[in-house]
Amino acid sequence: MSGRWTWLTTVVLLAGLAAGCAGAPTPLPEPGSEGERLMRARCGACHAVPHPARLRAADWPAMLALMERRMAERGMAPLAAGERETLLAYLRAHARR
């Protein structure tokens, strides 16, 4: 293993820890809002709750659709239409600019 590879691995691991792999809950915008509540209830079962700024607004609809497929594959309750709308509005409002 080259020194460069070890260094890169360390940086990637530290970035992962900083991004929420250390077990601390992801700080989300608008704490207490319906969107934040839904994110914590529905988006943390399979991975750490992602921050809306992870993606650009234009990319969230397709990602949310993919997540709904993953939920169906695992036999989880589907999002109600209203939940999907609330989540999408929340994700897009706080998406990466």
| Six token digits for residue 32 | 């207490």
CB of 91 to ligand HEC, least distance (A): 6
Instruction: Name which of 9 and 47 has its Cβ closer to ligand HEC.
Output: 47
Query: In the complex, which residues of this chain contact ligand HEC (CB under 6 A)?
Result: 42-43, 45-47, 50, 54-55, 63-64, 66-67, 70-71, 74, 76, 87
- What does the alpha-carbon distance between residue 22 and residue 53 come to, in Å, rounded to a whole number? 19
Instruction: Name which of 11 and 15 has its Cβ closer to ligand HEC.
Output: 15
CB-based burial label for 60 (10 Å; 0-12, 13-18, 19+): buried
